[in-house]
Amino acid sequence: MTRVFNFSAGPAVLPVPVLEQVRDELLDWRGGGMSVMEMSHRDKDFMSIAAEAEQDLRALLAIPANYKVLFMQGGATAQFAAVPLNLLRGKASADYIVNGAWGVKAAKECTKYGQANIAAQASPFNHIPARETWRLDPNAAYVHYTPNETIEGVEFGAVPDVGSVPLVADFSSTFLSRPLDVSKFGLIYAGAQKNAGPAGLTFVVVREDLLGQCLPAAPTIFDYKVVADNDSMLNTPSCFAWYVSGLVFKWLQREGGLAEIGRRNERKAALLYDCIDSTPLYHNPVATADRSWMNIVFTLADAALDAEFLEGAAKAGLPGLKGHRVVGGMRASLYNAMPEAGVIALVEYMKAFARSHG
Ligand code: PMP
């Protein structure tokens, strides 16, 4: 079977060894006579799968002991609401740094519960606003930002310094793609479905002192303290996705951890940006320092060629390159499990296409 390299931004590209293990264990998880899909979350086998996944995630990110790791549901979109519900803590407003479409959505959701102060906004969304221009409020409940804007392909190279106000980040599309100093954050969250497993699971890593002040009217299932007190099993969790994510964590460890994964991701991105920058047919609009390693957007000099480019790519086993409908053009998502061979195949296709359409 030839492996198709899918560059879509939506689903996870799962590592082949993980898929193989899932296949091998699908009907019978380690001699227990049933599939993980059939297990109760109270089953001791599932409890061990769940606990091991948490330990492995803690080890990968070196999560300090004073942080809770929550395995929630509802995607990052649910967290757009859960964050203000839990972290406003009686304060009037939170600061939002907006440099893409997901940051806009996060800020908008906050306005249902408190004031979202747009402390900085890029225009257009092709760069990160210079740190000196941010109008941060020292009394804000938290500062929210999106380390990687998936649609526009804009990524922070480093964690911004916001002083003592808790920093909150939507890591959905760059989770586990490079090492991270968790101690710089009050809270990080991410949907699993890009770098870390199947959809249906959402990770929240939150500093303990921020728990316990959820708005009383909030749904119980969104109250981080309740979720933490119940080991993320207040109700039935996404058991199967939790299990697969656990296998992804093990795979990341076997591959050398996040430092090695970060080096690979940097290399993969450089290969594709080099091709874009050195081929006049292609163009990437993002400020060089703020270019994403995960979602690489580009346009063709003649948009009339887009359909042919996409069709040829799909035929060559390289689907998923159509850009988000809001921005058009192309987007290649190079999540952790995208092998370098996939990027090399894409670059070869792009160069050949440019030669025949130059
Ligand atoms: N934030 C970012 C940065 C995203 O990329 C996405 C999904 N593409 C979301 C939020 C929304 O995530 P979900 O579908 O898990 O709600």
* Marked catalytic residue, from 68, 194, 268, 322: 194
Q: How confident is the model at residue 10 (pLDDT cuts 50, 70, 90)?
A: confident
Rounded Cα distance, 30 and 94, in Å: 47
Superfamily covering domain 257-356: Aspartate Aminotransferase, domain 1 (3.90.1150.10)
Annotation says 29 is catalytic: no
Question: Angle at Cα 224 formed by Cα 218 and Cα 226, nearest 5°?
Answer: 85
- CB 332, CB 265: distance < 8 Å: no
Residue 327 phi, psi (nearest 5):
-110, -15
Residue owning tokens 């999560």 = 63
Beta strands, E only, the chain: 67-72, 93-98, 115-121, 143-145, 148-149, 154-155, 167-170, 187-191, 202-207, 282-283, 295-300, 330-333
284 pocket-lining for ligand 1 (C-beta < 6 Å): no
- CB 165, CB 184: distance < 8 Å: no
Give residues with Cβ within 8 angstroms of 212, minimum separation 6: 225
Average pLDDT (241-246) is: 98
Is the pLDDT confidence value at 315 over 70?
yes
Amino acid at 226: V
146 pocket-lining for ligand 1 (C-beta < 6 Å): yes
In angstroms, the first-to-last Cα distance of the chain is 33
pLDDT digits (tens, 9 = 90+) for 143-202: 999 999 999 999 999 999 999 999 999 999 999 999 999 999 999 999 999 999 999 899
- Tell me how far CA of residue 68 lies from CA of 147, 188, 299, in angstroms: 21, 11, 42
Same CATH fold, 257-356 and 16-254?
Answer: no
Mean pLDDT, the chain, whole residue set: 96
- CB 234, CB 228: distance < 8 Å: no
pLDDT digits (tens, 9 = 90+) for 130-160: 999 999 999 999 999 999 999 999 999 999 9
- CB 51, CB 57: distance < 8 Å: no
Average pLDDT (55-81) is: 98
Ligand 1 atom closest to Cα of residue 202: 15
- CB 234, CB 42: distance < 8 Å: no
Is the pLDDT confidence value at 12 over 90?
no
Rounded Cα distance, 237 and 225, in Å: 16
Burial class (CB in 10 A: 0-12, 13-18, 19+), 217: exposed
Higher pLDDT pick, 285 / 9: 285
How far is ligand 1, taken at its centre, from the CA of residue 172, in Å?
6
Query: Structure tokens of 286?
Result: 């993002």
Annotation says 43 is catalytic: no
Beta strand 202-207 with 67-72: parallel, antiparallel or unpaired?
Answer: antiparallel
Q: Whose CA is nearest to atom 2 of ligand 1?
A: 172
Closest by Cα among 78, 101, 79, 97 to 151: 101
- Give every strand in the sheet of 115-121, ordered side by side: 67-72, 202-207, 187-191, 167-170, 143-145, 93-98, 115-121
Ligand 1 atom closest to Cα of residue 148: 3
- CB 110, CB 116: distance < 8 Å: yes
Rounded Cα distance, 29 and 246, in Å: 14
Q: Across the strands, what pairs with 208?
A: none
Q: Whose CA is nearest to atom 3 of ligand 1?
A: 172
Fold classified for 16-254 = Aspartate Aminotransferase; domain 2 (3.40.640)
Domain residue extents for the chain: 16-254, 257-356
How far is ligand 1, taken at its centre, from the CA of residue 77, in Å?
6
Query: Structure tokens of 7?
Result: 């560059």
